[in-house]
Copies of this chain bind each other. A is one copy, B any other.
């Protein structure tokens, strides 16, 4: 009721504030991975972030805003990854490795449970649905572009129609891997890598004559 700088309604700015927000988001992500969006309580998040529950509300308006931020960050990671299709040499190995990576609070990974809950939430929350659809469309578009690009330019030289189909299937495949990560975490690493090698070989092979579907 005294010094009350009421002009800062939303979030804060400045280096300190950013650090706090990051701290909270990392804690929240850890809790969400461990318990899910709903089962993770603000108290637990606060404890994990080693701060008081009240303080969190200085940086986020609500729990749902934190969830949105986490989802947004996950989408951001996807956006950052767009284009990694270039490096076709060890693609299978890279993807397979990220499969068995530890679920730590790595800030640059698509965490399977978060991905799944986000995808489910997309069917309920229009805001999430729109954001997710936008990113996915962008990814498919970029995938398609890379598949169409000439081989000598680091692409795969597929004709547009085929590239569009293959891009979609690639996306499904990668997302399916996230599902697999959650449902069968002890999946054999060697099998996974060679299976990926096989299918990527098929999908990205230079086109001469298509097999009859």
Given A113-B123, A213-B198, A171 contacting B162 (CB threshold 8 A):
no
A119-B183, A169-B173, A172-B180 known; A124 and B34 CB under 8 Å?
yes
Flag if A175 contacts B165 (CB, 8 Å): no
B213 & A191 in contact (Cβ 8 Å cutoff)? no
Find the B residue at minimum CB distance from A112.
B123
A21 to B82, CA, bound (A): 47
A176 to B201, CA, bound (A): 19
| Contact status A169-B123, CB under 8 Å | no
Could you say which of A92, A133, A169 has the most chain B C-beta atoms within 10 Å of its C-beta? A169
Chain B residue at minimum C-beta to C-beta distance from A128: B183
Q: A8 CA to B38 CA in the complex, in Å?
A: 32
| A66, CB-defined interface residue at 8 Å | no
Residue pair B120, A165 in contact (C-beta under 8 Å) = no
Whether A77 is near chain B, meaning CB under 8 Å from some CB there, is no
Residue A85 at the B interface, CB < 8 A? no
Whether B211 pairs with A202 at a CB distance below 8 angstroms is yes
* Pairwise interchain contact A211-B201, C-beta atoms closer than 8 A: yes
Q: Which residue of B lies closest to A33 (CB)?
A: B123
- Closest B residue to A201 by beta carbon equals B213
Q: Tell me, in angstroms, the Cα distance from A113 to B171 when the chains sit together.
A: 18
Contact status of A92 and B213, CB under 8 A, knowing A123-B182, A182-B119, A198-B169: yes
Q: How near does chain B come to A206, taking the closest CB pair, in angstroms?
A: 9
Is A179 touching B176 in the complex (CB atoms < 8 A)? yes
Is A109 an interface residue, CB under 8 A from the partner? no
Judge whether B202 and A203 touch: CB under 8 Å.
yes
Supply 5 further A-B pairs (C-beta < 8 A) apart from A35-B124, A136-B184: A116-B120, A133-B183, A169-B173, A173-B173, A199-B202
Closest 10 CB pairs of A and B: A172-B176, A176-B176, A201-B213, A165-B195, A197-B213, A38-B38, A116-B120, A175-B179, A175-B176, A202-B202
